[in-house]
């Protein structure tokens, strides 16, 4: 048990899939896990453990933003022994070639700053995905014929962007999408020798203003969850 995760020792699986939204964690557990057990509800940040095709899996929500992700990823890694952490999140598309509901696999992240930023002083550390998880997720998406893009994402501290100049530069440099947590997840995984990946679904388009409902963001992203599960146990 930790301050933020009320699970008992052994109740968290080595493979943890992490949505920002606690209700997405509940929906995914109800949809994909056998014998799903509620293992955390501290602060409403729901966590469930069960089995998928015989493999133990935990869905643990991480909330919004990198400070929140940092708390959950740190405790999952250091106190519960999580080995594979896969974020299953929504993101805003930055390129015309990336469409609503497409999958984005975050190969690497740009960020202005994360909770780990101060460790690196003047260095600009490059947070990257685990290559095995990344290539397995790409193969799983292609097997299913899903529209999938692999490349850079931007982990932002702000949802309501006031820096059009930044989005323009990111777009010019091929960044696929904006979200708010992956840079910190990849940095913590690197620090502790764990495997991490972010499988994202495009929920809105920064260029066109199209957006999906909160209901679809909560329980409409099954393809993303299935790709993440297949990648974890490839
Ligand atoms: O849908 P989730 O996983 O929460 O991810 C995205 O959605 C939230 C903002 O609405 C941020 O957490 C962002 O990263
Ligand atoms: O962080 C996020 C998530 C979804 N869509 C965005 O525009 N930003």
pLDDT along the chain (234 residues), means of 10: 97 98 98 98 98 98 98 98 98 98 98 93 96 98 98 96 92 98 98 98 96 97 98 98
pLDDT of amino acid 69 = 98
| pLDDT, position 161 | 85
β-partners of residue 196 are 85
Supply the DSSP symbol for 128.
Answer: B
CATH 3.50.50.60 fits 15-232, yes or no: no
Q: Which ligand is nearest to the CA of 63?
A: 1
- Atom in ligand 1 nearest the alpha carbon of residue 91: 6
**pLDDT at residue 175, rounded to an integer:** 98
Q: Are strands 15-18 and 55-60 parallel, antiparallel or unpaired?
A: parallel
Q: What's the pLDDT at 99? A: 98
Residues with CB under 6 A from ligand 1: 19-21, 64, 89-90, 159, 179-181, 217
Whole-number pLDDT of residue 139? 98
pLDDT at 79: 98
CA dihedral 64, 208, 146, 30 (to 10 degrees): 40
Domain locations in the chain as residue ranges: 15-232
What is the reported pLDDT for 162? Answer: 85
Question: What ligand is nearest to the CA atom of residue 182?
Answer: 1
Q: What is the pLDDT of residue 158?
A: 94
């Amino acid at each position: 048990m930790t301050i933020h995760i009320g699970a008992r020792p052994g109740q968290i699986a080595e493979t943890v899939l992490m949505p920002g939204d606690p209700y997405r964690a509940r929906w995914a557990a109800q949809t994909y896990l056998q014998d799903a057990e509620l293992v955390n509800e501290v602060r409403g940040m729901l966590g469930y453990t069960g089995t998928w095709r015989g493999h133990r899996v935990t869905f643990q929500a991480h909330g919004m933003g990198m400070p929140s992700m940092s708390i959950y990823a740190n405790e999952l890694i250091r106190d519960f022994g999580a080995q594979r952490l896969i974020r299953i999140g929504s993101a805003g598309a930055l390129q015309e070639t990336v469409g609503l509901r497409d999958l984005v696999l975050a190969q690497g992240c740009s960020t202005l700053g994360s909770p780990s930023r101060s460790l690196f002083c003047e260095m600009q550390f490059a947070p990257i995905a685990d290559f095995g998880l990344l290539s397995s997720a790409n193969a799983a998406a292609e097997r299913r014929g899903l529209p999938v893009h692999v490349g850079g994402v931007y982990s932002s501290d702000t949802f309501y962007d006031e820096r059009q100049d930044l989005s323009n530069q990111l777009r010019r440099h091929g960044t696929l999408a904006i979200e708010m947590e992956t840079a910190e997840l990849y940095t913590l995984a690197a620090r502790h020798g764990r495997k991490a990946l972010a499988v994202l679904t495009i929920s809105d388009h920064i260029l066109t203003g199209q957006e999906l409902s909160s209901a679809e963001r909560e329980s409409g992203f099954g393809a993303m969850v299935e790709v993440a599960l297949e990648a974890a146990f490839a």
